[in-house]
Amino acid sequence: MELVNYLFQYEDSEPFRQPVDLDQYSDYRSIIDTPMDLGTVKETLEAGNYDSPMELCKDIRLIFSNARSYTPNKRSKIYSMTLRISALFEEKIRRIVSDFKANQKHSERLQRSQRYNRRLKNRNRVCRSARTLR
């Protein structure tokens, strides 16, 4: 959430904070199949509808991809703003994704270890029961 708020406050994010005004840019939907904006991302995040940082990344990268597709002129102000905010996002998200993946691996290892320990306890219990029956 901190990163999305940070992007929201970033000066170059102004054109990306709300959905594109389709009255002002009537051809937008003929060029862009899946609109996305930071406001929508923020609402989705606040609602808890992202299962991982990678899902968040997908939507935020879609914002930048849409901007470059709709405004392909590399000399335009919006294109330059897109490059700057995109670079900032990639710099900040790298650590978040890395930490998430490391935590995920740790959690998976812990679960495997717990399953192994349960199987071992069950096996020992069966062995003790078998000895008692003799």
Is 121 domain-assigned?
A: no
Domain with residue 57: its CATH number is 1.20.920.10
Q: Which residue has the higher pLDDT, 124 or 12?
A: 12
**Residue 116 counted as domain residue:** no
**Mean pLDDT computed over 25-42:** 97
CA–CA–CA angle 65, 86, 21 (5° rounding): 55
Q: At what angle do helices 53-70 and 77-133 cross, to 10 degrees?
A: 160
Is 80 contained in some domain? yes
How far apart, in whole angstroms, are the C-alpha atoms of residue 64 and residue 109? 36
Give the rounded percent of residues in the chain with a pLDDT score beyond 70.
80
* pTM score over 0.85: no
Q: How far is 4 from 2, CA to CA, in rounded Å?
A: 6
| Long-range pairs of 55-59 with CB within 8 A, sequence gap ≥ 24 | 56/4, 56/93, 57/93, 57/97
Domain total for the chain? 1
> What is the span of the domain harbouring residue 62?
2-100
Q: Is residue 110 part of a domain?
A: no
Predicted local distance difference test score (pLDDT) of residue 65: 98
| Token reading at 25 | 């840019």
* 124 domain-assigned: no
Amino acid at residue number 57: C
For residue 134, tell me if it sits in a domain: no
